Amino acid sequence: MSTHEQAVLGQVALGYSPMIDKHRAITALRLTVFPIRPDAQLDSAQLLAALGEVWPEDGGRVSLNVVSESLLQGLMQAELPVNMMVEVPAFMASDPAHGEALQTLYKRGNTLLIKGRPTLPLPREVLPCFAYSIIDLADERRDGLPPPGGVSRHIPHVQSGVRTLTEMTEAFGRGAIAVLGWPIDDAIAVHGKTAGQPEMQTIVELINRVDREESPERMEAVLKNDPALAFKLMRYINSPAFGLSVEITSFRHAVMILGFKRLKRWLALLLASASRDVNLRPVIYAAVRRGLLMEELGRDTGHDEDRRGELFICGVFSLLDKMLGQPFADLLRAIPVPEGVRQALVDNTGPDQPFMELVRAIEGANVLDIRSAAEAMLMNTREVNRAVLRALAAARQLD
């Protein structure tokens, strides 16, 4: 990243969450951008250049939730890639001064979403530009009324602020075309029967065998009974995110090239993504990104490869209780993990815990929480944001 792009990354805080459709597929990532100082003059071109490295035009959709009127104005005037969607607050959508920029983005093929309830009717020429309205769950619960100003349920709506599977299901029941948020809080209560899936049991057995450093032949024999699982593991290991210069062709080859510690990391990722319950897709999505982000934060705080591998496993495993329907104290008796991981997940203490707190703050997209967690780790916002973008780029390569 260039010096100029690094400059803007030191002036904002980034948060992210998934956009989930009614089939529980992740259709886009919402990136929330906060100015660190409300009065700061931010360069939209610098931000766009930094984001373009993660989301090139063919790199998946991202919805920009920019909590700075001046920065959003700059982005609305820019030539955005068509995969970048723009969330426009209702008060800006109602302002005729922004009509030309909105129409230009619409004609270029950018998807526009109106955020919040307009207090004034939208200009007639602007109304067709919006593909979706974003209705926060808190507003929905307050009055349950469609927004005024010409934006009604005739425009498909996206429900934001969703935190549980129950809230997600209810939002789709009300006609939402998608939800924004992390519907992970009640996963363990709703889906407590997933622990017995044979694929998961096979992965746990492999993790234990790798921990004991058994022979590759014995471990490969386990995988031969599950060709689909073997294929998925090879796909992960050979993904661009792993960065190997040679193609791994077998489990035995993986042990020879990677060694036991690095292989354990990818088995952890495989375990976190093994559930076939479509409602748990957002949980899996979160777990993968947690692991990658904790690893990148470890890189920027100067930790070696072994320590970064531990942070990766901590992040990836941090939602296993919800996926497998068991408390961590029970789960981690069956799955060997470093002591720091056990402390963070069971006791909410230890050296990995500050990393987890920062990741949760980023998921929550709360600028004050992000700054507080980063300062506790002696990190500046530029370092944190660079780690966020690297992790999101790596995650996109795994999807």
Over residues 138-158, the mean pLDDT reads 64
- Taking the CA atoms of residue 335, residue 340, residue 342 and residue 346 in that order, the dihedral angle to the nearest 10 degrees is -160
Q: How far is Cα 195 from Cα 393, in angstroms, rounded to an integer?
A: 30
Segment among 11-15, 179-183, 276-280 with least mean pLDDT: 276-280
Instruction: Using a pLDDT cut of 70, give the percent of the chain over it.
Output: 92
The confidence score (pLDDT) of residue 269 equals: 87
Residue 150 buriedness (CB in 10 A; 0-12 / 13-18 / 19+): middle
Q: What is the pLDDT of residues 15-55, one digit of tens each?
A: 999 999 999 999 999 999 999 988 888 999 999 999 998 99
**The pLDDT of residue 187 is above 70:** no
Segment among 74-83, 216-225, 332-341, 372-381 with least mean pLDDT: 216-225
The confidence score (pLDDT) of residue 364 equals: 95
191: confidence class by pLDDT, cuts 50, 70, 90:
very low
Beta bridge partners of 28: 19
**The pLDDT of residue 258 is above 70:** yes
State which amino acid sits at residue 102.
L
Over residues 200-205, the mean pLDDT reads 85
The confidence score (pLDDT) of residue 198 equals: 66
Count the residues in the chain.
399
The confidence score (pLDDT) of residue 283 equals: 92
Instruction: Using a pLDDT cut of 90, give the percent of the chain over it.
Output: 60
The confidence score (pLDDT) of residue 145 equals: 52
Q: What is the pLDDT of residues 295-313, one digit of tens each?
A: 999 999 899 988 999 999 9
Write down the pTM of the prediction: 0.89
Over residues 233-253, the mean pLDDT reads 82
Q: What is the pLDDT of residues 310-355, one digit of tens each?
A: 999 999 999 999 888 889 999 898 899 999 999 999 999 999 999 9
**Which DSSP string corresponds to 95-154?**
-GGGHHHHHHHHHHT--EEEES--SSPPPTTTGGGEEEEEEEHHHHHHH-PPPSTT--TT
Over residues 280-286, the mean pLDDT reads 92
What sign results for the dihedral spanned by CA atoms 246, 247, 249, 253? positive
Q: 50 or 193: whose pLDDT is higher?
A: 50
The confidence score (pLDDT) of residue 9 equals: 93
